[in-house]
Amino acid sequence: MGEPVQLTDEERDCVLAALRLWQTYTRRPEAHDTYHGLLHEIATNDEQHRPLTNEEIEQLCRKLVACSKV
């Protein structure tokens, strides 16, 4: 991996919002619309890997918040 990324508060909050949006879509089976397909492509890098689970997203959100408090 490369150098650690430093995010501004605004950048961190935007990433957190996107992660929370993805969680919302994965929790709703009826959400399989155009946006869900697009989000899935982005989250899997066009099927290069599996998407994160909701628990993994939760852990990532906690990491982002914790790192911003350093």
DSSP SS3 for 10 = helix
Instruction: Look at residue 1 and tell me if it is in a domain.
Output: no
> Comparing C-alpha atoms, which of 1, 48, 2, 42 is closest to residue 19?
42
Give 46's DSSP letter: T
User: How many structural domains is the chain composed of?
Assistant: 1
Are 54 and 26 within 8 A, CB to CB? Answer: yes
Q: Which residue has the tokens 């697009």?
A: 38
Domain span including residue 14: 9-68
Instruction: Look at residue 47 and tell me if it is in a domain.
Output: yes
**Model confidence pLDDT, tens digit, residues 2-25:** 788 888 999 999 999 999 988 887
- The pTM of the full predicted model, rounded to 2 decimals, is 0.76
> Comparing C-alpha atoms, which of 55, 21, 54, 59 is closest to residue 38?
21
Are 61 and 14 within 8 A, CB to CB? Answer: no
**Model confidence pLDDT, tens digit, residues 21-55:** 888 877 776 656 667 778 888 889 999 999 999 99
Instruction: Look at residue 4 and tell me if it is in a domain.
Output: no
Instruction: Look at residue 3 and tell me if it is in a domain.
Output: no
Instruction: Look at residue 2 and tell me if it is in a domain.
Output: no
